[in-house]
Amino acid sequence: MLILLLACTEESKDSGTVPGGNDSADTAVDTGLADWVTPAEPEACGYTAGSTAGDGTATLDLVASDFGWDPGTGTMLETGLAFNGSVPGPLIEANKGDIVTVTFTNDTDTEMTIHWHGLRITPEMDGVMQMMDPVMPGESFTYEFVPPDAGFYWYHPHMSGDTLLERGLYGTMIIHDPSEGRADCDLPIVLDDVLLDEDTRQIAPPDTDMMQLMGRLGNVLMANGRALRSYEVSQGQTILLRLVNSSNARFWDVRLEGHTMTVVGTDGGFIAEPYVADHLLVVPGERYLVLVEATGEPGQSYALLNNRFQLHDDEHSDMMESDPMGDQENPVFYLQYGAEAVEGTPWVQPTPDIPAFEDNIPATFGHQWVLDEDMMGGTVTIDGAAWPDVPMVTVEGNLDTLFEVKNDSEMHHPFHIHGNRFQLLAVDGVPVEGPPAWKDTWDAPPMSTLSFASPLDNPGEWMYHCHILEHAEDGMAGLMTVEE
């Protein structure tokens, strides 16, 4: 058995001191991060409309290029990247059924494709290297697709994801149903972490093999590319938090100080029966729509707090990855209340008609994926192999189908499937609580089996993979053909 010790360094927690002393990136970094990131100036709550043109179309030029950005340490990242000079990239906003046209230009020196995570579009436009040639440095490619479902989605490069997302390449998409109401503050939040060298405050060197296997955890927690933001709100408002986890490997376990979080939607959009969550696990790639009634006190500020989540839990593993954020709860961003209370817009929950598979388990069985790892051999596998040797899965399309993911490893893996939507039905045969909800990404806990179902109504050749980006790069990925 291999034991990774939590490396703890005795750092002063005095404000203003810069942790120092470690010059090798494979030593765990200190926990005193709050000391070297500075709170941002308060900013307006909610997004400013992105690219949407109306008239059934949305058009955007999207340029990936070198871009120095500041995660909140006061130092620009020399190896930073961004879409259109912002981290996250521009919000793409459209109505479901719109024709979305994105002309992507690769102004970096790394070839890449752009993937539209969660959209049920055509495989040719899904932005994976099996279906299109990479866009080479200096070249452009026009993506055109019609998002069929309202919801909150995101986009990111699909080759070299582990390094390109760490450097800042990701963005969000809101697909509206025109009948939806609005919250006073509609706030997309990309949860991300980045691992900085504590002396230079630049992105730390590439991972060692062991870090690659464990997944790269960062030492700065960011909302929308910046640590410790503050959003200005007023008592009485309704706030819709649209959470997405773009981290390489971090599972976020969040709660909002002093407020009730009501889950009103998941990966595939709004759900018909909202539920209250004391805290929420958001795994890499996953999305949650969370409604918050602003019940805080005028003048006060309240943090979204993140709790440590162990990818190797004590029950299933003797191993423990070291988390550079430490074991304590850490603030991510704040809601800063103004002096006045206001009369807010009451939230009207959409009532999508989501068929309930739980009462109607499909008779057709599609496939059981088996996830495994060989820590000593340094590999992660699906169905006993690593990409590109994972056998093709072929299933009939337009047929309600049951699937399983059996995780035989000691570690959590966020399992993601492109192109179709799914409902999680059971974990180890125990039905999951909660209303029917569309998902494309789930946590597969260690030594457990997930059951989920899909109508498989979007035929094509689709990738599936672990969304720990190091694992995806290391071959924990395969292809599924959904026949016509």
Q: Which residues bind ligand C2O (CB under 6 A)?
A: 115, 117, 156, 158, 285, 416, 418, 463, 465, 467
* By the rule CB under 5 A, 468 interacts with Cu ion: yes
* By the rule CB under 5 A, 120 interacts with Cu ion: no
Pick from 201, 413, 439, 465 the residue near Cu ion by CB under 5 A.
413
- Classified as helix, coil or strand, 164 is helix
* By the rule CB under 5 A, 471 interacts with Cu ion: yes
Query: Whose Cβ is closer to Cu ion: residue 102's or residue 468's?
Result: 468
* CB 72 within 8 Å of CB 40: yes
* By the rule CB under 5 A, 466 interacts with Cu ion: yes
Query: Whose Cβ is closer to Cu ion: residue 30's or residue 207's?
Result: 207
State the DSSP H helix or E strand holding residue 56, giving kind and residue range, or none if neither: none
Q: Could you tell me which residues are beta bridge partners of residue 427?
A: 430, 450
Pick from 216, 242, 287, 418 the residue near Cu ion by CB under 5 A.
418
Query: Whose Cβ is closer to Cu ion: residue 218's or residue 331's?
Result: 218
Query: Whose Cβ is closer to Cu ion: residue 201's or residue 242's?
Result: 242
Query: Whose Cβ is closer to Cu ion: residue 114's or residue 194's?
Result: 114
Query: Whose Cβ is closer to Cu ion: residue 424's or residue 468's?
Result: 468
Residue 450 corresponds to which tokens in the numbers above? 């997930």
Report the nearest approach of Cu ion to the CB of residue 325 (Å): 20
Query: Whose Cβ is closer to Cu ion: residue 201's or residue 471's?
Result: 471
Pick from 34, 117, 224, 335 the residue near Cu ion by CB under 5 A.
117
Find which of ligand C2O, Cu ion, none residue 471 binds, CB within 5 to 8 Å per kind. Answer: Cu ion
Report the nearest approach of ligand C2O to the CB of residue 286 (Å): 10
Instruction: Report which of 96, 76, 97 is spatially closest to residue 87, judged by C-alpha positions.
Output: 76
124 phi and psi angles, rounded to 5 deg: -65, -25
Report the nearest approach of ligand C2O to the CB of residue 116 (Å): 9
Find which of ligand C2O, Cu ion, none residue 466 binds, CB within 5 to 8 Å per kind. Answer: Cu ion
Query: Whose Cβ is closer to ligand C2O: residue 163's or residue 330's?
Result: 163
Per DSSP, the residues of 89-111 read: -PPEEEETTPEEEEEEEEESSS-
Query: Whose Cβ is closer to ligand C2O: residue 130's or residue 360's?
Result: 130
Find which of ligand C2O, Cu ion, none residue 413 binds, CB within 5 to 8 Å per kind. Answer: Cu ion
Q: Is 122 exposed, middle or buried (0-12, 13-18, 19+ CB in 10 A)?
A: middle
- Classified as helix, coil or strand, 359 is helix
Instruction: Report which of 88, 103, 295, 94 is spatially closest to residue 171, judged by C-alpha positions.
Output: 88
Find which of Cu ion, ligand C2O, none residue 287 binds, CB within 5 to 8 Å per kind. Answer: none
Omega before 331 within 30 of 0, i.e. cis:
no
Report the nearest approach of ligand C2O to the CB of residue 467 (Å): 6
Q: How far apart are CA 245 and CA 449, in angstroms?
A: 23
Q: How far apart are CA 14 and CA 33, in angstroms?
A: 11
Q: How far apart are CA 307 and CA 280, in angstroms?
A: 10
Instruction: Report which of 203, 199, 205 is spatially closest to residue 21, judged by C-alpha positions.
Output: 199
CA dist list (Å): 109 to 134, 156, 194, 380, 432: 12, 16, 21, 29, 45
* By the rule CB under 5 A, 250 interacts with Cu ion: no
Report the nearest approach of ligand C2O to the CB of residue 123 (Å): 12
Query: Whose Cβ is closer to ligand C2O: residue 201's or residue 413's?
Result: 413
Q: Which of 67-97 are b and which e, b meaning 16 or more Cβ less than 10 Å from the residue's Cβ?
A: bebbbbbeeebeebbbbbeebbbbbbbbbee
Find which of ligand C2O, Cu ion, none residue 465 binds, CB within 5 to 8 Å per kind. Answer: ligand C2O
Q: How far apart are CA 263 and CA 279, in angstroms?
A: 10
* By the rule CB under 5 A, 412 interacts with Cu ion: no
Report the nearest approach of ligand C2O to the CB of residue 437 (Å): 18
- Give the nearest residue (CB) to ligand C2O: 117
Find which of Cu ion, ligand C2O, none residue 463 binds, CB within 5 to 8 Å per kind. Answer: ligand C2O
* By the rule CB under 5 A, 195 interacts with Cu ion: no
The amino acid present at 210, given as its one-letter code, is: M
Residue 168 corresponds to which tokens in the numbers above? 């800042």
Report the nearest approach of Cu ion to the CB of residue 117 (Å): 4
Footprint of Cu ion (CB under 5 A)? 117, 413, 418, 466, 468, 471
